[in-house]
Amino acid sequence: MYRKNIKAYTTQNLQSELAVADPYRVIQLLMQGCLERLAQTRGAIERRDFEGKSQSVSKTMAIINGLQDSLDLSYGKVPEDLFALYDYMKARMMDASRDMDIAAIDEVMTLMLTVKSGWDAIPVEERDKAIAQQKAGRTE
């Protein structure tokens, strides 16, 4: 019973946060969600929980797809490289799912932590500037 209540609270809390989040925060939440799903996938593989593994792999892949969809490839090399990195992560997720490979999950987790660390380190002034430019419909 408690687990169901906690899940409902967490879901409601996330929905509330997303409703008022700026684009920077949405990406941050997606990355955090991806890391959480990766941990769930790892646990499911360790327990040999095939159904749980399949569900968490699917959710992880959906989040990575969402991160790819958020990239503006018109900005050149950095978003293109991130797009390719996300493709690589998805390929490794498929390897992990097929082979029950914890090392592949750990690799994706390390890569996502690296990307998230870089994202989290973006200075507030730069975030605000990018959001303002996006709202104005222009880029510099």
CATH assignment at residue 61: 1.20.120.340
Q: Report which secondary-structure segment, H or E, holds 81.
A: helix 77-99
Residue 39 lies in a domain: yes
Query: What integer is the mean pLDDT of 62-88?
Result: 96
Tell me whether residue 136 is in a domain.
no
Count of domains for the chain: 1
In a domain, 11, yes or no: no
Q: What digits encode the pLDDT tens for the residues 100-117?
A: 999 999 999 999 999 999
Residue 50 lies in a domain: yes
Q: Is the pLDDT of residue 10 over 60?
A: no
d(C-alpha 51, C-alpha 97), whole Å? 11
* pLDDT higher than threshold 90 for residue 140: no
- Average pLDDT over the chain, rounded to whole? 88
Q: Kindly state whether residue 106 falls inside one of the protein's structural domains.
A: yes
**Is 17 domain-assigned?**
no
Residue 15 counted as domain residue: no
Instruction: Give the structural domain span for 58.
Output: 23-121
pTM: 0.82
How many C-beta neighbours within 10 Å does residue 22 have? 14
pLDDT on residue 8:
54
Q: Quote the pLDDT of residue 51.
A: 97
In a domain, residue 131? The reply is no
- What local confidence, expressed as pLDDT, does residue 80 receive? 97
The rounded percent of the chain whose pLDDT value lies above 70 is 84
